[in-house]
Chains A and B, each alone.
Chain A
């Protein structure tokens, strides 16, 4: 023991000094540093959690927006197609109406023309029959009962016109 230099006083001095070093370091170094490491770890964890939450929220709101945009787009599409449809409908309706009206007008005109023609024919026939009677009476020189002969002439004229 002596040759190695182990002696009680030296050993006790070193041991007590080392224990004092341990106690001081535990108070001065270990406490603050490990609590600081703990605080920092907690803080980092917290920040990570917050970041995760914020990211999730952002994702959610983006999704919601996307959905809303889709809905709006669909609605717009629908509106446009509705409008187009109703315009189309309106157009065909109007067209139909116009066609009908024009047909009506044409019909009316035709009818009027017909009427006019009938009237003209009748008047012509009337004139013509009286002309024929007067001419025939002159030719025959015999008085003929105007009424009886008129029927006869009408029949003749009818046959003539229908020919």
Chain B
């Protein structure tokens, strides 16, 4: 069987793909290969702004929000198809949804008896929602297709946020210049990806490796010391337009091309001459897995906790449920326990938020890292792992909501008797 030509061809091609991906990736890059590698994308914990509105109100549309809406749309369309002509003998989508429902109905009855049915809409919405957010984050194109933030936009953006926005003077235009200079000085080694312009599209070519990040100083064509000089000149009263160095730097930043050769910070190699004149920028993905943004996970956690508090108040009454937290009638120890329970509710919210966010964000980073270590095949097993983690996290989130809900509707006295 091992000598059949079919098998030999299969084995050889698998081996060849493996060798190519090892050599082409980040491992091979340290031996001078790395023809498949690109620079590691800038991993940002915060979701990136894709589109911002300034009037009538200022609003930043995040890429995770776009993904959330797409997942919502998908779920709504799927459930519409599943229930469009609902049949007694189920088929297709209806079957899948009924399977999920039946599973949660059984689990809820096990955990909280017949009354637990009221938790189901919330629990199943959380399960389906989190599952869709998690799984859609693994799709190809998420995190790799986007628009390019030019260097000028980046500098402008950073001079508005962070501590550089706080330095300045009374004069508005001067203050803006000083903030930008502060950014130029402090972020002078921040690397921007060098792109090839291909008309409408900007592509990050394969094989550039980690050296394909040009530092801000090489794009602006300045040395950090120069900025210090310019700052001094402005503070001493000269107008920005009268300083030729500053005007030159601003023009360079505006064009966003590589002006100077630069040293790769990792290995000290001088960048290839061919990079000169290429445009630079940072990729802002259009899509980002909704659960890799803390806002989303916090929102779901808040939704879940509000639902749990609502169940608690509605089934035990204001006095009964509130008595879990504020309880002075049974001595100081119970009062203290009540305060602890109150903190416990907040701790639950926080743990909900960061359990999901941490797992999904870490998964994203693992996928990116594997993509750079073993470009062609490295992602495949980890995508399977991410699918698994995605469904597990969705299950945990919904199950904990169910369990906390059951705990909230259980009377306090009864709870103590069990202890």
In the complex, are the beta carbons of B294 and A4 less than 8 A apart? yes
Q: Which residues of B contact A14 (CB under 8 A)?
A: 64-65, 68, 290, 293, 295-296, 298-300
- Residues of B near A43 (CB, < 8 A) are 88
B401 CB, nearest partner CB in chain A, Å: 12
B129 touches A18 (CB 8 A): yes
Q: How far is the CB of A6 from chain B (nearest CB, A)?
A: 5
Q: Which residues of the partner chain A approach B45 to less than 8 Å between Cβ atoms?
A: 3-5
Q: Does chain A have a CB within 8 A of B82?
A: yes
Name the contact of A17 in the complex, choosing from B65, B88, B293 (C-beta under 8 A). Answer: B65
Taking a contact as CB atoms under 8 Å apart, the answer to whether A37 and B79 are in contact is no
The B interface, classified by DSSP as helix, strand, loop or mixed, is helix
B128, CB-defined interface residue at 8 Å = yes
Report Cα–Cα, A118/B299, bound state, in Å: 148
**With A15-B302, A18-B299 known to touch, is A2 a contact of B129 (CB < 8 Å)?**
no
Q: With CB as the reference atom, state the residue of chain A lying closest to B90.
A: A36
Q: How many residues of B contact A (CB 8 A)?
A: 45
A33, B83: Cβ atoms under 8 Å? yes
A107-118 CB mask vs B (1 if < 8 Å, else 0) is 000000000000
Whether A33 contacts B97 by the Cβ 8 Å rule is yes
- In the complex, residue of chain A having the shortest beta-carbon distance to the beta carbon of B105: A37
Chain B residue contacts of A9, Cβ below 8 A:
59-60
Q: Which residues of A contact B75 (CB under 8 A)?
A: 21, 25
In the complex the two chains form, is A15's CB within 8 Å of B83's CB? no
A residues apposed to B, CB below 8 Å: 2-7, 9-11, 13-15, 17-22, 24-26, 28-30, 32-34, 36-37, 39-40, 43
For A19, what are the chain B residues with a Cβ–Cβ distance below 8 Å?
303
B120 touches A28 (CB 8 A): no
Q: Which residues of A contact B79 (CB under 8 A)?
A: 25, 28-29
Give chain B residues whose Cβ lies under 8 Å from the Cβ of A15. Answer: 299, 302-303
| Interface majority SS (helix, strand, loop, mixed), chain A | helix
Q: How far is the CA of A44 from the CA of B72 in the complex (A)?
A: 34
Known: A33-B83, A33-B98, A36-B86. A13 touches B125 (CB 8 A): no
CA distance A15 to B45 in the complex (A): 19
CA distance A86 to B76 in the complex (A): 91
How many angstroms from the CA of A154 to the CA of B48 in the assembled complex?
174
A25 touches B125 (CB 8 A): yes
Asked if B83 and A29 sit within 8 Å, CB to CB, the answer is yes
CB-based contact A21/B72 at 8 Å? yes
Closest 3 A/B residue pairs (Cβ): A5-B46, A14-B299, A29-B79
Name the A residues within 8 Å of B94 (CB-CB): 33
Q: Which of B65, B79, B82 has its CB near the most chain A CB atoms (within 10 A)?
A: B79
Give the residues from 332 to 380 in chain B that come closer than 8 angstroms, CB to CB, to chain A.
none
B295 interface neighbour in A11, A30, A36, Cβ under 8 Å: A11
| Residues of A close to B98: CB separation below 8 A | 33, 36-37
Tell me which residues across on chain A come within 8 A of B65, comparing CB atoms: 10, 13-14, 17
Contacts of A22 in B (CB 8 A): 121-122, 125, 129, 303
B101 at the interface (CB under 8 A from A): yes
Please determine whether B302 and A30 come into contact, CB atoms closer than 8 angstroms.
Answer: no
Nearest-neighbour CB distance to chain A for B129, whole angstroms, equals: 6
Pick 23 A–B contacts, CB within 8 A, sort by A.
A3-B45, A5-B295, A9-B59, A10-B47, A10-B60, A10-B293, A13-B65, A13-B295, A14-B300, A15-B299, A17-B68, A17-B299, A18-B303, A25-B79, A25-B125, A30-B125, A32-B83, A32-B86, A33-B83, A33-B97, A33-B98, A34-B120, A37-B105
Contact B83 A6 (CB under 8 A): no
Report which of B47, B59, B64, B129 forms a contact with A21, defined as CB distance below 8 A.
Answer: B129
Q: Which chain B residues numbered 94 to 136 have a C-beta less than 8 Å away from chain A?
A: 94, 97-98, 101-102, 105, 120-122, 124-125, 128-129
- Interface check B80, CB cutoff 8 A: yes
A28 to chain B, nearest CB (A): 5
Cβ distance A88 to chain B, nearest Cβ, rounded Å: 71
Bound complex: CA of A2 vs CA of B44, how far in Å?
Answer: 12
> Are B120 and A21 interface neighbours, CB within 8 A?
no
Whole-angstrom CA separation of A7 from B49 in the bound complex: 12
**Contacts A14-B65, A15-B303, A39-B88 hold; do A7 and B295 have CB atoms under 8 A apart?**
yes
Within 8 A of A (CB), among B167-197: none
The residues of A that contact B54 with a CB separation of less than 8 Å are none
B42 within 8 A of A: no
B 400-418 to A, binary, CB cutoff 8 A, 1 in contact else 0: 0000000000000000000
Alpha-carbon gap, A19 to B298, bound state (A): 13
Nearest CB in chain B to that of A36: its residue: B86
Taking CB atoms, residues of chain A closer than 8 Å to B76 are 21, 24-25, 28
Distance in Å: Cβ of A17 to nearest Cβ of chain B: 5
A25 touches B121 (CB 8 A): yes
- Chain A residues whose CB sits within 8 angstroms of the CB of B302 once the complex forms: 15
B69 at the interface (CB under 8 A from A): yes
Assess the B72–A17 pair: CB atoms within 8 A. yes
Q: Residue B274 at the A interface, CB < 8 A?
A: no
Whether A29 and B161, one on each chain, are in contact in the complex, defined by CB atoms closer than 8 angstroms, is no
A12 to chain B, nearest CB (A): 8
Task: Let me know if B213 is at the binding interface, CB within 8 A.
Answer: no
